[in-house]
């Protein structure tokens, strides 16, 4: 990169670069003319760039190169050095005061715009899977949680708020959403996904991208592709699958988020799929993403992922890293930008081009993709979007954000059991609140900034604020201990109360704690071999249940908890996947009936991890084999064993299936109809059903449409979600719900690996879950 002498950054104050005036006249370079076509601007700028300029657009930097995150001191020479090689984008997700980030983002953009020859602004980046990852930004509930709301409109609104908060500090690109699927429940990052289903995941991810980019903040869809079902559930492990599974299951949600929503960037993944590292997979990154889908923006590696080609996959020398080999694997495959966290292997680009190893056209194409995104997003016209600290206070964690966090969290809570109408609780009930997740540090998922767990509304705070009775809190056990010494105190509290509420589950850590190795039972690189409660939490719940008082068990977790005995004995069972900062209020809203629960599972809950995977859309021929012998083995009350054969003991079916969730009211379905019974591949069919609220409370129902391909030329899912709608229905009222499905989405990848919509019959089911199908109609595709 060609540099101009640093003139404006020696002092703390810098000139504003909120908007750059770009007159359109003959004296202004074409690439600086906002009215010029994007492709013309890209071509003009590329023609002016040296090889060093181009290389700098393909490597990520970090704000710590010029900001001392301990003292806040600014290092001008560090900024200049960083931008000489890593000028494309830089990361700012640090646990420092907001003003430090804003000031140093402005310094960086000021430097790039005014102190380099071409003035190319940078992408400024942080994490944001459930909130902008900086100190005191709004923390929403985890992705696995808000997917259970089945409410894309709320997700789009959330993403818009995240964009607003990011822009207030000058951040213009966020590492979200995930389009990965929760198909392997041992995997620690289940909490970061939107669940097991491609369609639901695609719709939630689409809404996130649309909401974020409407706020002029770039989404980065991750992790492309097929990442989240690693061997043995171990993070970054190899994924086994074929081309048909890749195209049928893993790619559709990515296409929805990347192509349909128009995402400006994509992050590749750490794993290998069918033996090919994702970061060097020409087939997925170029043949599919670019050539088939027509994607025109850029792909960036995950942190440190490039080094893994040598260090993990052993495709090149690891000590020292063979940077030239890494570059030649990743860049020509279509991985355009190298994220930090590794050896910055792309710095070898000039040498590789110089000695003829790397074709300059490959470099140029990668740079075009980066520049195209920057022009399309308007970065040259508005390099810096940050506002004053006083204004940032109004835009970050504002009242509307806090209110939405509470609403989204409440809509995400899933009522699994409610025996004898234990819930909602009486407002004046004397409550024994028990469990390590009821108080103390907030039980957020991963990807929150360091220290976040010390703020937020705990269940204890939320329930106490909502109650007019007496709330007695007893921890019962530590979340990370096997000691049962405190269980007797919990039992005594339960005996003295009208009702017990026991909150247990899994726990994760903030970003600093997680990577420093502190204990956790979920999160990135925290994988498990059991879905049972850890340590003394299981004995605690069973001891409270033994008291005989009405007992509400709340699972506060980042993944399903497989405890069938507790599920069978609890008076009420509630699943609250990792909450946001208003989680305690949201839980109280549901427990006391201010909010009628409307969450539906985005992921199936197995009886035991040994039965996994239990996703609902298994291929035809899956699940129980049937026959003359019992499919399911059980142990009777007299200890007599009935041996099954699918399995000897237990069942391959989920304990709670995808799409399941109870309400404080009931809904009746009738009159399933299609607006046409025959259709062609290019048609859209409207599915309609009458839904009546037959209970005594207003409520919201998630109406779900599943399709079964009756006869197909390859093995296909037994049923597949193809549409859904969340509707509010007053007590005693009935609504006609219409849901469109595209016939083109009913195709298969046939024996010749061609996508075709095969003529024949398709049964269209409408129901309240993937198992609770209330009615159907038949569509004939001609």
For residue 215 the two structure tokens come to 């706020």
Give the largest CA-CA distance in the chain.
Answer: 92
Residue 26: pLDDT band with limits 50, 70, 90: low
- DSSP string over 239-283: B---HHHIIIIIHHHHHIIIIITT-SEEEE-SSEETTEEGGG-HI
The Cβ of residue 674 has, within 10 Å, a number of other Cβ atoms equal to 16
3-class DSSP assignment, residue 45: helix
Choose among 202, 223, 213, 224: nearest CA to 152.
Answer: 202
Q: What is the pLDDT of residue 9?
A: 40
Question: What are the tens digits of pLDDT across the range 736-775?
Answer: 999 999 999 999 999 999 999 999 999 999 999 999 999 9
3-class DSSP assignment, residue 766: strand
Q: What is the pLDDT of residue 218?
A: 98
For residue 521 the two structure tokens come to 């039972």
For residue 84 the two structure tokens come to 């000489």
For residue 732 the two structure tokens come to 């005693």
Q: What is the pLDDT of residue 196?
A: 98
Q: Which domains does the chain have, with CATH numbers?
A: 38-391 (3.20.20.300), 413-606 (3.40.50.1700), 667-781 (2.60.40.10)
Choose among 481, 447, 459: nearest CA to 558.
Answer: 447
For residue 675 the two structure tokens come to 């607006």
Is-contact 541 379, C-beta < 8 A?
A: no
Judge whether residue 200 has pLDDT over 60.
yes
Question: What are the tens digits of pLDDT across the range 575-599?
Answer: 999 999 999 999 999 999 999 999 9
Residue 331: pLDDT band with limits 50, 70, 90: very high
Give the phi and the psi of residue 129 in degrees, each rounded to 5. Answer: -70, -25
Q: What is the pLDDT of residue 19?
A: 58
Judge whether residue 428 has pLDDT over 50.
yes
Q: What mean pLDDT is predicted for residues 632-649?
A: 80
Give the phi and the psi of residue 662 in degrees, each rounded to 5. Answer: -95, 170
- DSSP string over 670-722: EEEEES-SEE-TT-EEEEEEEEEE-SSS-EEEEEEEEEEESS-SS--BSSEEE
Is-contact 691 669, C-beta < 8 A?
A: yes
Q: What is the pLDDT of residue 584?
A: 98
Q: What is the pLDDT of residue 631?
A: 67
Question: What are the tens digits of pLDDT across the range 33-53?
Answer: 999 999 999 999 999 999 999
Judge whether residue 13 has pLDDT over 50.
no
How far apart (Å, rounded) are the C-alpha atoms in residues 367 and 625? 54
Judge whether residue 365 has pLDDT over 90.
yes
Q: What is the pLDDT of residue 125?
A: 98
Per residue, the 3-state secondary structure of 367-422, as one string, reads HHHHHHHHHHHCCCCCCCCCCCHHHHHHHCCCHHHHHHHHHHHHHHCEEEEEHHHC
Give the phi and the psi of residue 743 in degrees, each rounded to 5. Answer: -60, -30
N residues, the chain: 782
Residue 7: pLDDT band with limits 50, 70, 90: very low
Return the residue matching tokens 């060097």.
280
The Cβ of residue 457 has, within 10 Å, a number of other Cβ atoms equal to 23
Mean pLDDT of the chain: 95
Q: What is the pLDDT of residue 638?
A: 73
Q: What residues does 298 pair with on adjacent strands? A: 265
The answer to which of 20-34, 80-94, 415-429, 453-467 has the lowest mean pLDDT is 20-34
Question: What are the tens digits of pLDDT across the range 266-308?
Answer: 999 999 999 999 999 999 999 999 999 999 999 999 999 999 9
Judge whether residue 624 has pLDDT over 70.
no
Residue 555: pLDDT band with limits 50, 70, 90: very high
How far apart (Å, rounded) are the C-alpha atoms in residues 618 and 641? 29
Percent of the chain with pLDDT over 90: 92
Strand pairing of 414-418 and 572-577? antiparallel
Q: What is the pLDDT of residue 511?
A: 86
The answer to which of 146-150, 346-350, 644-648, 761-765 has the lowest mean pLDDT is 644-648
Question: What are the tens digits of pLDDT across the range 492-516?
Answer: 999 999 999 999 999 999 988 988 8
Q: What mean pLDDT is predicted for residues 111-137?
A: 97
How far apart (Å, rounded) are the C-alpha atoms in residues 40 and 64? 35
Choose among 467, 427, 421, 409: nearest CA to 665.
Answer: 421
The model's pTM is 0.95
How far apart (Å, rounded) are the C-alpha atoms in residues 261 and 201? 13
């Amino acid at each position: 990169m060609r540099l101009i002498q640093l003139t404006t950054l020696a002092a703390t104050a810098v000139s504003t670069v909120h908007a750059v005036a770009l007159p359109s006249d003959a004296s202004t370079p074409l690439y600086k003319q906002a009215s010029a076509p994007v492709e013309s601007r890209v071509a003009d700028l590329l023609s002016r760039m040296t090889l060093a300029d181009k290389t700098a657009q393909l490597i990520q930097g970090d704000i710590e190169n010029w900001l001392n995150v301990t003292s806040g001191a600014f290092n001008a020479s560090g900024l200049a050095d960083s931008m000489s090689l890593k000028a494309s984008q830089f990361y700012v997700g640090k646990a420092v005061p907001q003003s430090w980030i804003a000031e140093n983002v402005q310094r960086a953009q000021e430097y790039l715009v005014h102190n380099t020859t071409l003035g190319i602004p940078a992408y400024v980046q942080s994490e944001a899977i459930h909130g902008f990852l900086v100190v005191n930004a709004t923390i929403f509930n985890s992705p696995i949680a808000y997917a259970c709301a089945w409410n894309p409109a709320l997700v789009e609104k959330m993403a818009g708020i995240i964009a607003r908060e990011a822009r207030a500090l000058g951040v213009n690109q966020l590492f979200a959403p995930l389009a990965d699927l929760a198909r392997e429940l041992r995997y620690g990052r289940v909490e970061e996904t939107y669940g097991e289903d491609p369609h639901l995941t695609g719709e939630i991810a689409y809404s996130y991208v649309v909401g974020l980019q409407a706020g002029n903040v770039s989404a980065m869809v991750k992790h492309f592709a097929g990442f989240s079902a690693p061997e043995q559930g171990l993070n970054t492990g190899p994924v086994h699958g074929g081309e048909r599974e890749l195209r049928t299951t893993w790619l559709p949600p990515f296409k929805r988020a990347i192509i349909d929503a128009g995402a400006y960037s994509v992050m590749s993944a750490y794993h290998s799929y069918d033996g090919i590292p994702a970061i060097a997979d020409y087939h997925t990154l170029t043949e599919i993403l670019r050539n088939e889908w027509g994607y025109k923006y850029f792909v960036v590696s995950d942190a440190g992922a490039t080094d893994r080609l040598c260090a993990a996959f052993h495709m090149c020398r690891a000590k020292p890293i063979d940077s030239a080999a890494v570059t030649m694997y990743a860049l020509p495959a279509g991985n355009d930008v190298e994220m930090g966290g590794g050896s910055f292997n792309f710095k070898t680009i000039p040498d590789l081009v110089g000695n003829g190893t790397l074709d300059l056209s490959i470099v140029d194409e990668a740079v075009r993709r980066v520049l195209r995104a920057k022009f399309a997003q308007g970065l040259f016209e508005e390099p810096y979007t940050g506002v004053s600290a006083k204004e940032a206070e109004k835009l970050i964690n504002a009242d509307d954000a806090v209110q939405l966090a509470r609403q989204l969290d409440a809509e995400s809570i899933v009522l699994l059991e409610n025996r004898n109408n234990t819930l909602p609780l009486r407002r004046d009930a004397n409550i024994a609140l028990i469990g390590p997740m009821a108080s103390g540090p907030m039980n957020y998922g991963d990807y929150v900034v360091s220290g976040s767990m010390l703020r937020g509304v705990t269940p204890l705070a939320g329930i106490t604020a909502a109650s007019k009775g007496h709330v007695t809190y007893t921890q019962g056990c530590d979340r990370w201990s096997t000691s049962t010494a405190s269980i007797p105190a919990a039992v005594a509290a339960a005996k003295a109360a009208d009702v017990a509420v026991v909150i247990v589950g899994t726990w994760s850590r903030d970003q600093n704690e997680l990577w420093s190795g502190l204990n956790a039972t979920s999160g990135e690189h925290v994988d498990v071999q059991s879905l049972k409660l850890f340590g003394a939490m299981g004995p605690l719940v069973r001891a409270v249940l033994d008291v005989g008082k009405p007992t509400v068990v709340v699972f506060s977790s980042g993944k399903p908890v497989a405890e069938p005995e507790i599920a069978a004995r609890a008076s009420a069972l509630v699943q609250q996947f990792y909450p946001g900062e208003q989680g305690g209020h949201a839980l109280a809203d549901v427990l006391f009936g201010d909010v009628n629960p409307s969450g539906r599972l985005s992921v199936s809950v197995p009886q035991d991890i040994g039965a996994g995977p239990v996703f609902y859309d298994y291929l035809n021929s899956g699940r129980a084999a049937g026959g003359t012998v019992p499919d399911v083995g059980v142990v009777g009350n007299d200890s007599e064993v009935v041996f099954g054969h699918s399995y000897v003991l237990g069942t391959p079916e989920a304990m709670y299936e995808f799409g399941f969730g109870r309400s404080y009211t009931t809904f009746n379905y009738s009159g399933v109809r299609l607006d046409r019974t025959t259709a062609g591949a290019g048609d859209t069919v409207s599915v309609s059903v009458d839904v009546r609220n037959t209970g005594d409370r207003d409520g919201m129902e998630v109406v779900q449409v599943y399709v079964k391909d009756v006869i197909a030329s390859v093995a296909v899912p037994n049923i597949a979600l193809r549409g859904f709608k969340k509707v509010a229905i007053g007590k005693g009222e009935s609504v006609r719900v219409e849901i469109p499905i595209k016939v083109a989405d009913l195709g298969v990848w046939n024996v010749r690996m061609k996508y075709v919509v095969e003529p024949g019959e398709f049964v269209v089911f409408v129901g309240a879950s993937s198992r609770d199908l209330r009615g159907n109609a038949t569509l004939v595709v001609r």
